[in-house]
């Protein structure tokens, strides 16, 4: 290929993979198979290595994130981020229209935009490069969240088109699509973490996280909707939106130019009915005078522009009857109450059930069977009971009492101090816990066993074929019995057994995650496997050793110690080991740069400004140093960053172990 063709090929692959990434991570609508994606990524990496002059700064081969922000800098907005006046009725809109006409006459248009339920952001660009991203804050100043915003795939870090001003700000809304929210929230629930109430809270919480590597894994999106610059070359807001769209910014396709207030009201009515068909939440419509000169003429009040207003939809609520309360037992033993309702139409869907969260919520509502309850969709997604109409309560109605024993296995429930959730501790014999654990074990993010699904696991359990995870690896002995299961032919059985056998090659971190230990999610499992190297070291680790590991707090450490203390869990691990599963990390070969740290041992603790802990670990090992897991008199150095645990610091001080910074470590290598 010629150089021109190579450049075009690189640009084409970058565009295709970035589009796929956006659709996969943000919209949950992938366009390529994993195999196709990997092959294209390999080709791109090879071409970029051979022709580095054509490397695109937004190439999917470049690592996104990795910055640790200890605290966000407060930055003053160049143009204040004013809030809009809100209204919930049409007469207020007509009054707004009259006020506008009195100032600028009758010759004007409106631009109507969906009002996204997200987090407002201001992006500053210089010479086509994203320099800063600032939250709304108090409207005058906000937090600098640039590192986190740079992980959002739909926000250009560098503008590739032409015609943009040398310096400009652009305003928008960061949000999360419903499909992504549900997927991530379900993962939090599976890991026994507190679920977010709605996508807005999830997006807001994500944008204020300190580690941009974590932010990069959470699929945020952003619509841009207003341009600010010193030198305007556009006469209308509509023209500026068309321009920023051409520069590569994500502008909502539903924005509409309206000739008068009647057209505005039609737009409002349309989206009040159709908003539930969108992949993201909106809570109203924003109406702006289109002409920029007319905007200037209308001016501002102290808090908001006189040329714009927002119409907010009322949260949809509906009354229905609470028929009964049932209780779901999850794979971790958490018992969640669920309100079973008389079916009712709400926000475009038939609602039959609503979450009650925990026993505290039942007490707060003072629920009785047969109550008339007011239900709304929290964040337009999760139905919830917000109140009870006690005036309609039957005097003979029975109060809803949270159970004292597990609804499935009758084991007394426990509730740990400081937690709102009740648990069934009978994890080895409680049916939904057993089935849930095995379903978790075979999942894509754990052992990824082909040929097995949740329904099959449920059927196998009911038939008595499996009662433990380890039983999966003896299914080949029951091949004749498996054929008796409906729709489970020889081909299906063959594929399943092949998938089970193949899973024995999955790395230690996947096996550890698959065990389903409470609070040990995918990321925590990776950290533990990388640190302890094998299951025996992990099982024998003390509380102090566990909390030494990055991201392992007291709650996770306590859960691990409690899990490995149970002899039944140890038996299961030994059985899995005997079947050939990987309980030891494969040691990666380290390219030695020097022997300057040979014979010296290190522990790394805390947060560092210039390096991640993994990067410091790689530096030490690349220079022949050794990373150890616990503080002892034999330890040579404690590399200490901010926010390190006081217990580790006290122990190192008592043992007179040298405490050094990351800068000190680098100086040792010079």
Q: What is the pLDDT of residues 55-64, one digit of tens each?
A: 887 787 765 5
Lowest mean pLDDT among 129-138, 167-176, 262-271, 301-310: 301-310
- My answer on whether 418 and 439 are in the same domain is no
Q: Which of 482, 505, 528 is the last residue of a domain?
A: 505
- My answer on whether 498 and 516 are in the same domain is no
- My answer on whether 242 and 370 are in the same domain is no
**What is the CA 670 to chain-centroid distance, rounded?**
41
Reported confidence tier of residue 72, pLDDT bands at 50, 70, 90: confident
CATH of the domain at 388: 2.40.50.140
- My answer on whether 523 and 492 are in the same domain is no
Bridge partners, 321 (sequence order): 372
In a domain, 64, yes or no: no
- My answer on whether 403 and 300 are in the same domain is no
- My answer on whether 120 and 181 are in the same domain is yes
Radius of gyration of the chain (CA): 29
- My answer on whether 519 and 498 are in the same domain is no
Task: Give me the pLDDT at residue 382, please.
Answer: 67
**Residues recognised as catalytic:** 115
Instruction: Check if the beta carbon of residue 447 is closer than 8 Å to that of residue 514.
Output: yes
Mean pLDDT of 197-206: 81
Lowest mean pLDDT among 315-324, 406-415, 547-556: 547-556
Mean pLDDT of 99-121: 93
Residue with tokens 């040990």: 520
Choice between 49 and 130, residue whose per-residue pLDDT is larger: 130
- What is the C-alpha to C-alpha distance for residues 151 and 41, in angstroms, rounded to an integer? 19
Checking if the pLDDT of 376 tops 70, the result is: yes
Residue span of the structural domain in which 608 resides = 601-668
- My answer on whether 362 and 436 are in the same domain is no
Degrees to nearest 5, angle at CA 185 with 183 and 186:
65
In a domain, 375, yes or no: yes
Q: Which of 505, 538, 567 is the last residue of a domain?
A: 505
- My answer on whether 495 and 523 are in the same domain is no
Mean pLDDT of 185-214: 77
Total Cβ atoms within 10 A of residue 293 = 12
Checking if the pLDDT of 229 tops 50, the result is: yes
Average pLDDT, the chain: 87
- What is the C-alpha to C-alpha distance for residues 544 and 631, in angstroms, rounded to an integer? 9
In a domain, 62, yes or no: no
Task: Give me the pLDDT at residue 184, please.
Answer: 83
- What is the C-alpha to C-alpha distance for residues 456 and 462, in angstroms, rounded to an integer? 10
- What is the C-alpha to C-alpha distance for residues 195 and 189, in angstroms, rounded to an integer? 6
In a domain, 226, yes or no: yes
- What is the C-alpha to C-alpha distance for residues 548 and 621, in angstroms, rounded to an integer? 18
Torsion of CA 509, 513, 517, 522, to 10 degrees: 100
- My answer on whether 159 and 137 are in the same domain is yes
Q: Which of 312, 345, 365 is the last residue of a domain?
A: 312
- DSSP code string of 78-108: SS--PPPPEESSHHHHHHHHHHHHHHH-S--
CATH of the domain at 613: 3.40.50.10190
In a domain, 161, yes or no: yes
CATH of the domain at 9: 1.10.287.610
In a domain, 61, yes or no: no
Task: Give me the pLDDT at residue 607, please.
Answer: 74
For the chain, what percent of residues have pLDDT higher than 70? 93
Task: Give me the pLDDT at residue 380, please.
Answer: 46
In a domain, 39, yes or no: yes
- What is the C-alpha to C-alpha distance for residues 299 and 287, in angstroms, rounded to an integer? 15
pLDDT tens column, 523-575: 789 889 988 999 999 999 999 889 888 778 888 999 999 999 999 999 999 99
How far apart, in Å, are the Cα atoms of 646 and each of 221, 429, 555, 652? 39, 40, 17, 10
What total of structural domains would you count in the chain?
Answer: 6
CATH of the domain at 526: 1.10.150.20
pTM of the model: 0.54
Task: Give me the pLDDT at residue 101, please.
Answer: 94
Mean pLDDT of 406-431: 91
In a domain, 586, yes or no: no
Q: For residue 608, give the nearest of 653, 646, 640, 650 by alpha carbon.
A: 640
- My answer on whether 148 and 288 are in the same domain is yes
- What is the C-alpha to C-alpha distance for residues 618 and 610, in angstroms, rounded to an integer? 14
- My answer on whether 25 and 86 are in the same domain is no
- DSSP code string of 542-569: -HHHHHHSTT--HHHHHHHHHHHH-HHH
């Amino acid at each position: 290929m010629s150089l021109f063709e190579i450049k075009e090929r690189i640009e084409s692959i970058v565009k295709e993979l970035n589009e796929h990434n956006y659709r996969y991570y943000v919209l949950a609508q992938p366009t390529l198979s994993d195999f196709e994606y990997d092959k294209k990524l390999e080709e791109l990496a090879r071409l970029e290595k051979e022709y580095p002059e054509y490397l695109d700064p937004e190439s999917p081969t470049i690592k996104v994130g990795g910055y640790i922000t200890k605290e966000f800098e407060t930055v003053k907005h160049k143009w204040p981020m004013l809030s809009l006046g809100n209204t919930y009725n049409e007469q207020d809109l007509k009054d707004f229209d009259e006020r506008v006409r009195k100032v600028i006459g009758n010759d004007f248009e409106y631009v109507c935009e969906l009002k996204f339920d997200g987090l407002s952001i201001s992006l500053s660009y210089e010479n086509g490069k994203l320099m800063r991203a600032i939250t709304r804050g108090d409207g005058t100043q906000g937090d600098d969240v640039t590192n986190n915003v740079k992980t959002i795939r739909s926000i250009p870090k560098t503008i590739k088109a032409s015609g943009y001003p040398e310096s400009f700000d652009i305003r928008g809304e960061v949000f999360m699509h419903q499909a992504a929210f549900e997927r991530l929230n379900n993962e939090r629930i599976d890991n026994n973490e507190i679920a977010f109430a709605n996508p807005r809270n999830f997006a807001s919480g994500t944008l204020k996280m300190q580690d941009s590597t974590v932010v990069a894994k959470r699929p945020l999106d952003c619509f841009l909707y207003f341009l600010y610059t010193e030198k305007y070359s556009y006469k209308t807001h509509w023209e500026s939106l068309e321009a920023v769209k051409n520069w590569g910014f994500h502008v909502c396709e539903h924005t509409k130019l309206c000739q008068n207030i009647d057209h505005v009201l039609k737009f409002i009515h349309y989206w009040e009915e159709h908003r539930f068909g969108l992949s993201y939440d909106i809570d109203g419509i924003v109406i702006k005078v289109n002409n920029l000169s007319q905007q200037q003429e209308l001016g501002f009040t102290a808090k908001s522009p006189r040329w714009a207003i927002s119409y907010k939809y009322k949260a949809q609520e509906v009354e229905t009857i609470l028929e009964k309360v049932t209780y779901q037992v999850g794979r971790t033993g958490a018992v969640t109450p669920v309100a079973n309702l008389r079916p009712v139409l709400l926000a475009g869907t038939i609602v039959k059930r609503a979450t009650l969260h925990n026993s505290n919520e039942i007490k707060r509502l003072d629920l009785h069977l047969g109550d008339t309850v007011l239900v709304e969709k929290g964040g337009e997604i999760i139905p919830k009971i917000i109140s009870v109409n006690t005036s309609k309560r039957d005097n003979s109605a029975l109060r809803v009492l949270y159970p004292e024993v597990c609804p499935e296995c009758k084991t007394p429930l426990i509730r740990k101090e400081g937690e709102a959730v009740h648990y069934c501790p009978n994890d080895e014999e409680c049916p939904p816990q057993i089935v849930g654990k095995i379903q978790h074990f075979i999942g894509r993010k754990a052992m990824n066993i082909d040929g097995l699904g949740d329904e099959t696991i449920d059927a196998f359990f009911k038939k008595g074929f499996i009662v433990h995870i380890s039983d999966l690896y003896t299914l080949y002995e029951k091949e004749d019995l498996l054929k008796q299961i409906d729709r489970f032919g020889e081909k299906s059985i063959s594929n399943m057994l092949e998938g089970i056998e193949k899973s024995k090659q999955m790395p230690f971190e996947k096996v550890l995650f698959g065990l389903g230990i409470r609070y040990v999610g995918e990321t925590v499992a990776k950290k533990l496997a990388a640190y302890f190297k094998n299951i025996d070291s992990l099982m024998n680790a003390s509380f102090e050793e566990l909390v030494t590991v990055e991201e392992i707090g007291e709650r996770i450490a306590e859960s691990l110690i409690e899990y490995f203390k149970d002899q039944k869990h140890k038996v299961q691990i030994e059985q899995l080991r005997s079947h050939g599963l990987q309980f030891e990390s494969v040691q990666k070969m380290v390219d030695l740069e020097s022997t300057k740290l040979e014979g010296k041992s290190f522990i790394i603790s805390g947060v560092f400004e210039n390096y991640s802990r993994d990067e410091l670990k790689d530096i030490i090992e690349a220079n022949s140093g050794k990373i150890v897991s616990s503080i002892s008199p034999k330890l040579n150095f404690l590399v200490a960053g901010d926010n390190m645990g006081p217990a580790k610091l006290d122990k190192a001080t008592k043992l007179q172990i040298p405490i050094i910074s990351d800068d000190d470590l680098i100086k040792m290598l010079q």
